[in-house]
Structure formats: structure tokens, C-alpha cells
Amino acid sequence: MAVYKLFSEKDTTILSQYPAQNTGRDEILDISNYNGININSSAAGDLPAVARSLVQFKQSTIDDIVDNTIGSSNYQANLKLYLANAENAPLEYEIYAYPISGAWDMGTGRTSDVPKTEDGCSWGFRGTSGSNAWTASAFTNFVTASYGSAIGGGNWYTGSTTVNPEASQSFTYTSDKDISLNVTNAVKLWTAASFSNDGFILKLGDENEFVDEYVEKQYFSMDTHTIYPPELEFKWNDASYNTPLTPVTSSDFVIGFTNLKQEFEDSGIYKFRVKVRDKFPTRAFQSSSVYLNAKVLTSSSYWGLKDIKTDQMVIDFDTSYTKISADSGSNFFTVHMNGLEPERYYQLMVKTIVNDETLIIEDKGNYFKVVR
């Protein structure tokens, strides 16, 4: 099984309350409805205060991943953003992502700039204020927009001749607030050149925009100083389980990574070998040590990665996409180092199911550092 994470090349927030302001260098992406309050103390009258976010990933890298790494395998692409702050969450709400129609400039502004920076994409314009406004009417096929009294807010595709590129995620008051949207349809339209990749626009549902309620959802941007920038995560099944070795039958076993190094460069692919043996092997009349009798994990075994400093799962166990393989020598799985933040330490973890018992193996000695 394989997981590859691609980080965004540009992102920004657009604000209906300040139609010309650029926020391309903010550390936060905003997907909110601020009606009833001012975004800051210098608010502009009674304009509706809606925030949407734009995120783009490099198409040449996407093409390389799909064509040369994934190949003919079926894949799933997920757009992931990590929550930085949430206020006044409704009991239920949805966040939508659509492919953007038309190029836009990231700019160098911040929400806190005084005077406000207007050198890039904003609510009203694709680029520097006053140039190349977002289309407000007479849309081309499958393209639309929505806005209140402040015209703009981006343009996006709502369909195509083949598939629907819309992605949505439902939230409740108590659910995890991180965004993980299945955007496979949009990515496949990009790779097929059905329309150009100008990134995604993320917004609240229509029922939560331009209404008299306060909903604030803020996420880390590519300029964050954390490990949580926006990601486009590719998952596909490259696992195989074909081995003459005997699977373990109880929890009394030990594992080791025979080719684990202290450091790996943040490029390329690395195959980890997992050696398995019984903790208390049965005595036998043989010339070699019984501790050398190799076994394998069951076919219901999965790998994961944890960031050691934050104790957060960077790649979580996934029964569809992080399954551990087995061949004539041992178990194994591959990790794409390109998709990991460099200069950080990661712990290898294993989850396996043996006779209906789920076991999590997390030896703190099984770690490595990704370096530039």
C-alpha cells in the first residue's frame, strides 16, 4: 500500500468585507461567516463578512505522481487542511471544495497589514486590485459564482461532461474539525486536461454564508510554522501478500526493521523490511537457532507513521491503503519520503489482527529522521 503527500504551492484567503485585500502570506486560511461582527476594528461598514480559501498544488508534480509513481493503479486523492481555530460551530454544517476556474495570484499580503495590501488575489479580483475581476455573470459552461452585496468571491466548476468535481464534508458540533475531502474526480479532470488546474476554492455551504450567524473555521496555510500545511494526499493499493512463511498465530511475537536507518533524505521511496519471529519459539532438534525461524504478520496488518514531537499520526493506519505486504523473505512496505516534512523525527508503527485480537506495536526505538 502507498501514501504520497504533496504540499501546496500557493494559497490565500479572500474576504468579502475587504474586496480588494490580499492575504497571500497569512499563516492562516479562513473559511468563515462573520455576519454580525467585524473581522477587525477597522471594519468596512455593513458589508457581509464571508471568508473563503484558495489552495493550489503544482500540476507537473501531480502528473508525475499519477503517471510514474501510481501508474495503472486506482487511486484516491484527498485534500487535507488542519484546524488552527474554531469558534461558534453550528450543530451541523458542511464545507465544500470546487476546482477554481481561472488563474489567480497568491500575493504577499496579510490580514493585519495597514494599509491593506492589494498586490494579489482578493474577493473582487484574480490579481492586483483593479485588474482581472472574477466573473460575476455570463459564465461559461459548468462555471459559477456566489456572492452577497460584494461582487466576486471566486469562480469555480460545478460539473463537467463526465463527472461532478464537487467535494463536500459534513461536520457536527462534536466531530473532528480537520478537513479531508475526496477530490479524486477533480484531480482526474486535471490530469485528463478536461480543464486547467487552478487549485481549489473552499467555502461553507450556502446555508451558512451571508446569513445572520457567526461561524469561524481557520486552518493552517502553507506559511505555517507547524507541520500542518495543506496537503493533497494520494493513496493507492500496491500491496501483495504471497509468502511461504507461516503467519503468527498469537500475540507472543517480536518484530524488527532490518534496514532501518537513522536518517533518510526527503526524496525517493524506501522499502522497510519487517522481520517477525515467535517470542517464545518451540524447542526443536535443528542445527540453527530456533530464534532464526522467520514468520510473517497476518494479511490483516497495516503500517503507520507518528510525528515524535507532536505525537500525532502523520500517516494513520488504513485498511485500504497502508496494508503490509509479504514475500518469500519477510513482510515489507514502502514509504514515500517526499511527502514527509523534513528535519523531523518519525516513529514506525504496526497494527495487526491476530485471531480477532487487534495489536498496536509502537517501539520508540523504531524511528528515523527525514533530512533535506
Q: What is the pLDDT of residues 206-260, one digit of tens each?
A: 999 998 888 999 999 999 999 899 999 999 999 999 999 999 999 999 999 989 9
Per-residue pLDDT averaged across 348-360, rounded? 97
pLDDT of 172 > 60? The answer is yes
Q: Is 344 exposed, middle or buried (0-12, 13-18, 19+ CB in 10 A)?
A: middle
Per-residue pLDDT averaged across 159-178, rounded? 91
For the segment(s) 253-371, the CATH number from 3.40.50.720, 3.90.320.10, 2.60.34.10, 2.60.40.1930 is 2.60.40.1930
Query: CA-to-CA distance for 174 and 176, rounded, in angstroms?
Result: 7
Yes or no: say if 150 and 19 are a contact pair by the CB < 8 Å rule.
Answer: yes
pLDDT of 284 > 70? The answer is no
C-alpha cell read off for 210: 451571508
pLDDT of 40 > 80? The answer is no
What pLDDT score does 35 carry? 75
pLDDT of 47 > 90? The answer is no
What pLDDT score does 107 carry? 97
pLDDT of 291 > 70? The answer is no
pLDDT of 52 > 70? The answer is yes
pLDDT averaged over the chain? 92
Q: What is the pTM of this model?
A: 0.90
The H or E element spanning position 6 is strand 2-7
203 or 1, higher pLDDT: 203
Q: SS3 for 58?
A: coil
The H or E element spanning position 62 is helix 59-64
pLDDT of 294 > 70? The answer is yes
Q: Is 37 exposed, middle or buried (0-12, 13-18, 19+ CB in 10 A)?
A: exposed
pLDDT of 114 > 70? The answer is yes
Give the model's confidence band at 162: pLDDT under 50 very low, under 70 low, under 90 confident, else very high: confident
What pLDDT score does 223 carry? 97
Per-residue pLDDT averaged across 193-202, rounded? 96
Q: DSSP assignment, residue 129? A: T
Residue 310: Cβ within 10 Å count: 12
Q: Report domain extents, the chain.
A: 2-236, 253-371
Yes or no: say if 321 and 235 are a contact pair by the CB < 8 Å rule.
Answer: yes
What pLDDT score does 315 carry? 95
Per-residue pLDDT averaged across 93-122, rounded? 96
Q: Considering all CA atoms of the chain, what is the largest pairwise distance in Å, rounded to the nearest integer?
A: 88
Which residue reads 461553507 in cell numbers?
Answer: 204
What pLDDT score does 290 carry? 45
